[in-house]
Structure 1
Amino acid sequence: MEKDLVVAGQNEASDQVWEPPNPQLEKIPSHVSRDAPSAFERPSEDEYFPEGGRAAWLALLGCFCAWMTAFGLMNTVGTFQAYLETHQLSAYSPAEVGWIFGLYLFFAYCCGVQAGPIFDAIGPRVLTVVGSILISASMLLLGVCHKYYHFIIVFGILGGVGTSLLSTVAIGTIGHYFNVRRGFATGLASCAGSLGGVFFPLMLSSLFASAGFAWATRTLGFIFIFLLIIANILVRSRLSTKPFSRTNILPDLRILKDKTFLILCIALFLIEWGLFMGLSYLISFALDAGIKPALSYQLLSILNAGSFFGRWAPGLLADKIGRFNTMILMISQCLITTLALWLPAATTSDLATKKGLLIAFALLFGFASGSNITLAPVCAGQLCKTENYGKYFATCYTIMGIGTLVGIPIGGEILARGGGNYVGLIVFGGTCYAAGLVFFIWARVRVVGWGLRKANIF
């Protein structure tokens, strides 16, 4: 047996997760079915996690490539939205254009409720192939779109479903190889999304001007194909697949009876509203403020550069001080940067001050928000057995997807009702972060209480 194998349930960090100090919390609530996986069940003692080794790191590299494609595209949404609002879809309001990207995010998250159980049942192979075809086709076809419904189908549906399948594979596969180091491994792989979020907007903004929209999106599609070939070769499941049956691939909504998990989902729902106010409207805000297009488009790359470190460092920290504890710290920073930097940028009339505030906001908000997506499934994994990890994070992502479906259009409607003034939109985003923070603290307190001792690492 390899030296670096870790037995779930016998490791100190794992014990801290699965044995809350309050003995009352170890009992399964009476309203939860005994057949339903619960936050209060221990993982079986024979669950082993390599925590490293050749197979684990190669799988992680494959997940890195899949994540660069899926979350790289998600982090580039603001670039596409700002361009379409002033070109192909200039006749439509920001709220109407926002529905395209809200629909994309909805499918990117919500298809996971089906993809997660399929992953648990048959492994990553089929999901990786289908997701690769859909997201690559989306980018190759996007260049010929010119009507509103074209963008709905090609970007919103094809791109969204492809993103969902690939992200499910990446998150689920990492969860099979890592337990104690899961936060670090997930953060490391998710840095790919930030790298894509830095490189893709810069590439697209340059190609939009030099080669046109069609060839810009085709070039992105060719990059996706290259990355996904690597992902299809390297991504492998560690656990044996279950016998294929209809019940194995159906979502199990009984897990929502777990109140702690439900509270976590509500928290993440609210956080997504706050997150995508910044990701989707930052470029449009800068352009409307009179900042030159070159810098305006670069703001999203600056944000994703900050997010690169915000995905890796909090992931490493989360394995030391607790995943929920780390998320609470990062959500607090998102709230502070939104109200202390972006809001003043919307109220000042001095252009130089506005530029400085926006650059600072993009960098600091990017760092803080980097963990909003990547640590979400890790927190969900705190509340379930490894064999049910796919169902838990997929259900969690589905609820987050419902928030993103309406979140961006709501932001556009707030903007329209405010006569183009962004103050209301920014305050709305900050309020969502504040409410999400309250629910996240509530979920943590339900499991380990208010204490900050080592025994309360969670």
Structure 2
Amino acid sequence: MSEKSITERRPSDSETDTESCQLKQYEGGREAWLTVAGSALVYYASFGIMNSFGFFQNYYTVVFLKDTPATTIAFCGTLQMFLMNSLAAVSGALCDRYGVKWLYLGSGFGTIFALMLLSFVQAGQFWSIFLIQGMLLGFTIAFGIQPAITVVGQHFNARRSLAMGVVSTGAALGGIGFPLMLEKLVPTVGFANAVRLAALKIGICYSLALCMSKSKPQGQDGRRAALIDFRGFLDIRYTILCAGTFFAILGLWIPSYYIKTYANVVFPGNSISEYFLCIMNACSIVGGSLGGFLADRVGRLNFLWPMGLLGGFLCLFLWLLGDTIGILVGFVGLYGFAASNINALPASAVGQITPDGSLGARIGAFYSVIAVASLVGTPIGGALITDKDTKDGYRWLIVFSEYLN
């Protein structure tokens, strides 16, 4: 028999069973779920400090940068998100090629270094905050977040949405823990020491993640994934998913940035708006876990688009038309549930249509396009505020978020 005929023959049943067993060894198991826990810790640390920007924005506007426009300060937060997503193609492919260990080391040390620099910034130094918190922090976080979700995708197939949903709960918990920590510490120990303690907390999370996480080896052919892989856009499913997610992300973060300010304008003297971010992130925990579980059963795309519609309807009927603080609290909770799925499910949907060896590079390329939406969406919404001191002044901001969701 010639060499060509050997290489072109159909695999036998025994070979197929062997390949199936090799795939199953990465479908769950102790190592896989430890990796999920490690990724959740990275999400807790990274998204925790990023999702705390609502606290930073309020503190900068009132105390630290009171002469700087709020929309200018908000750009620091959206720049973090932009850099995180735009570097996703590179960091995801590096994870495919080298695993997560060195990426976690670099991201962890870089994030701690950025926060230590931030703790020495003096009041009124906007450009220092822009360079440190906007650029440096966004850059270093990018090399932790994308590998964290990529390595989980390497360990799961059938239950990938559930696993990624569990990881996303780390982001939600961080979005609760870090703002509460900063709210309590800044008045007692000062801004600088509070930020340094946050850096210590992040260091502990990354150290544990390093011990718990394990990357899946490269495919059987031994070939390394391309560093940047945009070939996914040749697949119409990938392209449509990317376009839909792009428009959803344009309006996705607007409520988390502006809902507290809106509540204080419309319901002055209320005592609950300071907990809105915590409520939203707490409901994201339920949304990320339950949504991932359901998406694995009804289909990831079949669950994703109803969550987008739900987010839009909530903005219209509860935020725009709501006339009591209780309705606004309900909006915050329900929107947190929907937004967690809009944010988490696209990655698992991409994994469903991606060759295993290119998972990190394809997810990364996907989010490098989404990065533009995360950069410009919230500032565009802020520019639509016609009067920051009246309810009607926020009308077009809410409409913008509603239609894009």
TM-score (norm 1): 0.79
Kindly indicate whether residue 398 of structure 2 is the aligned counterpart of residue 423 of structure 1.
no
Change in 2 beyond 3 A, CA 1:240/1:260 = closer
Q: Give the aligned partner of residue 290 of structure 2.
A: 313
- Whether 1:200 and 2:178 are equivalent positions in the alignment is yes
In structure 2, stretches of 5+ residues that fail to align are 1-18
Distance 1:257 1:159, change over 3 A: same
Spell out, residue by residue over 1:244-285, the C-alpha distance to the aligned partner (whole angstroms, 9 max, x if none). Answer: 99x955312232222221111111111112211012112222
Aligned partners of 2:321, 2:66: CA distance in 1, in Å? 28
> Mind listing any 5+ residue stretches in structure 1 that lack a counterpart?
1-43, 434-458
Do structure 1's residue 48 and structure 2's residue 20 form an aligned pair? no
How far, CA to CA, are the matches of 2:144 and 2:233 in structure 1?
24
Aligned counterparts, 1:50-129, within 5 A = 50-129=26-105
Structure-to-structure mapping, 1:126-145, within 5 angstroms: 126-145=102-121
Give 3-state SS (helix, strand or coil) of 1:87's partner: helix
Task: Rate the CA distance shift 1:411–1:310 in 2: closer, same or farther, 3 A.
Answer: same
The SS at the match of 1:136 is helix
Identity among equivalent pairs (%): 29
Deviations 1:323-361 (A, max 9, x none): 11111121121111111111124xx4xxxx1x2122111
By how many angstroms is 1:295 displaced? 2.4
Normalized per residue, the structure richer in helix is 2
What secondary structure, in the 3-state scheme, does the structure 2 residue paired with 1:250 have?
A: coil
CA deviation after TM superposition for structure 1 residue 419, in Å: 7.3
Q: Aligned residue for 1:212?
A: 190
Q: Does 1:361 align with 2:338?
A: no
Pairing 1:188–2:166 present: yes
Q: How does 1:2-401 map to 2 (within 5 A)?
A: 48-49=23-24, 50-146=26-122, 147-240=125-218, 248-292=225-269, 295-345=272-322, 348=323, 353=324, 355-401=325-371
For 1:274 and 1:356, the matched residues in 2 are separated by 23
Distance 1:195 1:138 in 2: 22
Give the match's secondary structure for 2:65.
coil
Supply the distance in 2 between the matched residues of 1:272 and 1:48 (Cα, whole angstroms): 33
Contact preservation (8 Å) 1:62, 1:235: yes
In 2, the alpha carbon distance for the partners of 1:47 and 1:253 equals: 28
Tell me the C-alpha RMSD between the 2 structures: 2.2
In structure 2, C-alpha distance between the alignment counterparts of 1:429 and 1:273, rounded to whole Å: 8
- SS of 1:48's partner is helix
Q: Within 2, Cα distance between the matches of 1:321 and 1:161? A: 36
- Distance in 1 (CA, whole Å) between partners of 2:86 and 2:207 is 25
108-117 or 137-146: bigger deviation = 137-146
For 1:131 and 1:338, locate their aligned partners in 2 and report how far apart those are by CA, in whole Å: 35
CA distance in 1, matches of 2:132, 2:219: 32
> Structure 1 pair 286/54, CA: closer, same or farther in 2 (3 Å)?
same
Tell me, in whole angstroms, the C-alpha distance in 2 between the residues paired with 1:287 and 1:141. 32
Whether the 8 Å CA contact 2:31–2:213 is kept in 1: the answer is: no
Judge conservation of contact 1:123–1:241 (CA < 8 Å) in 2: no
Q: Is the 8 A contact 2:48 2:172 kept in 1?
A: yes
